[in-house]
Each structure stands twice: as C-alpha cells, then as structure tokens.
Structure 1
Amino acid sequence: MASRSGTRSTRRPPVRRRPGGSPVAPARRATAGDWIGGARLRTLPLAIAPVALGTGSAYAQRVPAHWWLALICLAVALLLQIGVNFANDYSDGVRGSDRFRVGPARLTASGAAKPRTVLAVALACFALAAVAGLVIVVVTQFWWLLAIGAVAIAAAWFYTGGRRPYGYAGLGEIAVFVFFGLVATCGTTFVLLGELDSEALLCGVAIGCIACAALVVNNLRDLEHDAKAGKRTLSVRIGATGSRVLYGVLMLVPFLLLLFLCLFYTTPSLVFLAVLLAAPAVLITSTAKTAKELVLALSLTGLTGLVYGLGLGLALALPA
C-alpha cells in the first residue's frame, strides 16, 4: 500500500510475544516428528508398566481372566498419559512457563503449533480414554468406575491446567503415585478379577515409586528454570540435594518390595536384573552437573519401570 508521500509503507507487522513478554521467533509448522515428540514417548513405559503388573497380579490368583480387558486398560493408561503430555504442553505454553525450560522445545511455546490445536489433541486423547473406560464399565458392570475415570481425567488436566494447577504447588508426585501407581495397577487387577489382592497393592506402590522418581529427576533438571517461572514443584521446594536423595529412596523401595515378594514366589528374583538400569540412573542423578545427564537418567528411569513392570508382571502370571 502506498503512503501519502507516494512511497511504499515500511511499517513492520507487530511482533508476537509470549505471555511472559519475551518475543516469539517466527514459527514453523509442526511436523509429524514434532507431534510425536510432543507425545513424549519416553514417558509411555510408565503407563505400560502398571497395567502389566496389574495383569500379572490378576493371573497370579490362577482365576480365568479376560486378557482383552487388560488391553483396553492399557489403552486407557496410554491415552491418559499422552493426553496429559499434550495438556501440559498447552497449559505451560499459554502460561509462559516453558520459555525458561532447558529440555526439548514444546509445540505451544515454540509456536510450531497453535495452542488451540494442541488443546484439541489433548482433549481428543482424554475423550478416547473415556470411551475405552466406558467399554470396561459396560462389560464389567462396575459403574462406580466411571467416577474413578472422571477423577483421573480431571487430575490429568489440573496438573498444569486451570487457575491453580497443583503441579505448580509441589503436589505432582502425589498424583503420579496415586494414578500411575495404585489406580492403574490395582484398577487393572480389579477389572480382571472383580476384587483386589495384596500383590496388586504391593506392585502399585512399587511402580508408583518409580513413576514418582521419573517426575523428580525431570523436575530436578528444570529446577532453576521452574523457580524463575513461578512453578513451586517439589524439587523447587526441597532443593537439588533433597531431590537427589528423594530420587534414590524412590528407586530403592521397589526392589525392597521385590525382595519381599521373593519370599512367596520364585520367579520374581530375575526381575532384580532391572538394577542394571536403576543403579546407573541413581548414580547419574546423584552426581549430574548438566541437564543432558539428567535427561539420560530420566530415560533410564523409564526403562527401569518398563523392565520392572513387564518382568514382575510376567513372573507373577507364570506358574511357580
């Protein structure tokens, strides 16, 4: 458009800014790889493990169970985990918290995807998880499970969503322990058996501790940046040293419980091979100086959970 003087206007378009005020670089369109990265695949082992443990605990009772129901439980767990990952991406992005992060760039904060698109994907995952959960309820006729599912979805959203996200108040580890430990494990066993047993409870505590450890090392990596963003995570509250100690304790508890289970079962002893992953993770976390080291520890924690969950679940399901 020509100006009054006859020359072309040189007025620049307004600069897009994040909620925190810092300018956003010109965005590129998100690729398939970006969306896969947004799903945070390294967190999925900790959704698979509790379902495997719950299934193994059910089969340990030598009562016929519908294995396909376990697959639907797995679908619920995976969809909830992916959904909460995208919900966190959206909520942290629009709030401006991710501008301080040192890990991989997020879809919303980087501008690679529109916030409403990321939100839509998160809600779609929650909706699919709800449909899978409804199938379980219709088949089992345990209608009260609908309330558990609704609370699980609400917990997934309000972790970083809403006006007062509890993840910003240092309560994330509690929620992870409850939902990705006790609820996922004991819930799977209950769906398959129609009752709970001590094995499911012990397994739920064990995998819940590993899941909490993963969150602790993740928040330890982002400790300084979360503090700047106003995120009062548990790691921010107890500091780096406290986080390292807590991580070590959380990684120790599952193997103490495994030792107890070995008093009643013979095959679980092989699951101690998971120590080959857990020990380096604890060592790295206790001595790490860089974010890259803690990312490696996080990956090892997820693998520990997967090996522990699949191994112990199979050990319990096999005849003694």
Structure 2
Amino acid sequence: MQPRIQSNQANLNPNKKEWQVWWQLTRPHTLTASFVPVILGTVIAYEITPIKFDLFLAMLIASLLIQAATNMFNEYYDYKRGLDNEKSVGIGGTIVREGVHPKVILNLAITLIALSVLLGVYISMNSSWWVALVGSVSILIGYLYTGGPLPISSTPFGELLSGLFMGINIILISFYIQTGTITATSILVSIPTTILIGAINLSNNIRDLNGDKEHGRKTLPILVGRENAIKILAVAFLISYLWILALILFADLSPWLLVVFLSSPKAYQAVKKFIGKTIPIEMMPAMKATAQTNTYFGFLLSIGFIISYLF
C-alpha cells in the first residue's frame, strides 16, 4: 500500500498531484549518479564476458533504491536539524512544503533500503559475498551522509565520499558481478565518473553555501569560498575529459571513447551559469547542467565502448 501524505500543517502546494510529491522526494536529478555507473561498469565487462542481465537489473534497481533512500534520509535529517523551510530552493523540503509527515519519509527510506538488501543478497548468492560487505558499507555511508552525530554533508568530505561510493564503487561492483574479477582498465575508466559524481555534490554545496554557513556547516565551498569552489568544479570537468584522452593515448583504449567530448558543452554551461551568481534559485540551471554532464558523459562513454567492440 502506498503511504499517504500525512500532514501536521496545511499542504503548501495543493495543486501538485500526489505522485509528483513522491517522485520529487526521490530527487530524480540525482539518480543519474546511480544508474550511470551501473551501466558503464556493465558495458566495460562486456568485453570480457556475456552480460548476465538478471544481475545487471538487480544491481541497477538496488543502486537506484539506495540513492532514493539516501535522498529521503537527507530530507528527514535536514528537516530535523532545521535546514529546510518553505523558502528552501530546490526539490528538497517535501516535509515543509508539501506537508508530508517526517516519519512517513523515514519509514519509506528504511523500506527502500530493505528492498535493496534483498536484491543485494540475490546478487551475492550469484557472485560473491564480498559484494554484500561492500554494499553494506555503501548503505552505511548513504545514511551517515546526513544522519548520525556528525553528518558527512556538514564536512568538506562530501564530494570525496559521494564520488568514491557512487562512482568507482558502483562501477567496480557492476563489473565484478559480471566478470568475477577487477582489472586495471575497469579502475582507470571509473575515475572520470567518480570525479563527475563528486561534482554533482559540489554544485549542490555551491548553491547552498550561504544557508550551510548559517547552520555551522563546513562544506568544501564554505572553506575555499564560492569563486574557488567554481574553479574546482571547472578543474574537475577538465580532468575528467583529459583523463579519457590520456587513456586513449597511453592505455591503448579505443579512439571511439572520444565521443564523450560531445558532452563538454554541458560542462561549460555548468561553470558559466555559476559564475557571478549568489542567489540559490539563480544557480539551479548550473546544478542541472552539472548532473546532465555526468549523465551524458557516462552514456557517451558506454556508447564509445560498445562501438569499439563492434569495429
């Protein structure tokens, strides 16, 4: 049974349909950080072995469930700590804007985690129980990102940990459950996506810099300043593209991987749309472009590998 919206206050957006409220609660623009690594890791594995589609689908759904649950924990704990209000910018703030009861969101997040664990058991039974251990650590990091006494989101390490556990971690698990091994190529190819997922987190923290500072957070943009944070974002994009070029030149990977450069205009847009902006609502297009860069980069890289297998 679908949980109903329970309200201790008036719904602040009565024109919004209920399914839209629940869809926004998953923060769909962040889900790219889950499915892109799974697809990429699986495509890389195809060079070694035929794809086991049951494991691919189980991994894809489990990753999406964990990401959605992490977003809901974020929603719940941001509300509990007073970080969200009806004027908050973005698609978070479902509790304060839509009147959804906090416990409903917390219970839904726990349910999604439970479902992901069941999928993880299936994956482990058909690959290795080491996957269960690594997956459990990933779930714990997802919770601790906003939960616990010292949330990761309040520290300068949010970008690093989100990139590692949603980038290289997911890519290598997706690769391993297909092939039963980890190769140097799978590790090297995972680096740019890891950086770009961290960039999504960085863009969010650039937007929220003023509000985070008021609540005593110590995020990377707060420590280095807005302008330097934007420069770091630009460097992250640059490294990601140059990394692929280096793999082609020095690791003997296919020139077809250059197709990823078709996504570079989005990276340029992301940086440009951040420059000179200080009001959160004005930075939403830059955040969207950052997430799109990761999506397009990952899909194009996967396409490059597929074409290289054919020719």
Q: Same fold (TM over 0.5)?
A: yes
Alpha-carbon distance in 2 for matches of 1:300, 1:111 = 26
Q: What are the residue-to-residue correspondences of 1:1-320 with 2, within 5 Å? A: 26-27=10-11, 31-61=18-48, 63-99=49-85, 101-104=88-91, 106-110=93-97, 112-140=99-127, 142-263=128-249, 264-318=253-307, 319=309, 320=311
Q: What is the Cα deviation at residue 55 of structure 1?
A: 1.1
Alpha-carbon distance in 2 for matches of 1:266, 1:246 = 28
Contact 2:27 2:92 in 1 (8 A): no
Classify 1:110/1:163 alpha carbon distance in 2 versus 1 (closer, same or farther; 3 Å).
Answer: farther
Alpha-carbon distance in 1 for matches of 2:179, 2:283 = 39
Larger radius of gyration: 1
Contact 1:185 1:203 in 2 (8 A): no
Deviation string 1:88-109 (CA, Å, 9 cap, x unpaired) is 0001111111237333451223
* Structure 1 letter corresponding to 2:59: C
| Corresponding pairs, count | 295
Alpha-carbon distance in 2 for matches of 1:74, 1:162 = 27
Alpha-carbon distance in 2 for matches of 1:199, 1:302 = 25
Q: What is the Cα deviation at residue 43 of structure 1?
A: 0.8
Moved more, 166-175 or 176-185: 166-175
Moved more, 260-269 or 47-56: 260-269
Hey, what does 1:17 align to over in structure 2? none
Classify 1:105/1:274 alpha carbon distance in 2 versus 1 (closer, same or farther; 3 Å).
Answer: closer
* Structure 1 letter corresponding to 2:39: A
Alpha-carbon distance in 1 for matches of 2:243, 2:210 = 34
Hey, what does 1:18 align to over in structure 2? none
Q: What is the Cα deviation at residue 138 of structure 1?
A: 0.7
Alpha-carbon distance in 2 for matches of 1:177, 1:273 = 22
Alpha-carbon distance in 2 for matches of 1:293, 1:247 = 17
Which ranges of structure 1 fall in alignment gaps of 5 or more residues? 1-23
Which ranges of structure 2 fall in alignment gaps of 5 or more residues? 1-7
Alpha-carbon distance in 1 for matches of 2:108, 2:302 = 31
Contact 1:218 1:294 in 2 (8 A): no
Q: What is the Cα deviation at residue 66 of structure 1?
A: 1.2
Q: What is the Cα deviation at residue 185 of structure 1?
A: 0.7
RMSD: 1.9
* Structure 1 letter corresponding to 2:188: L
Report the TM-score, using the length of structure 1 for normalisation: 0.86
Contact 1:94 1:108 in 2 (8 A): no
Contact 1:182 1:204 in 2 (8 A): yes
Contact 2:21 2:98 in 1 (8 A): no
> Per the alignment, in what secondary structure is the counterpart of residue 160 of structure 1?
coil
Contact 2:75 2:94 in 1 (8 A): yes
Q: What is the Cα deviation at residue 64 of structure 1?
A: 2.4
Q: What is the Cα deviation at residue 166 of structure 1?
A: 1.8
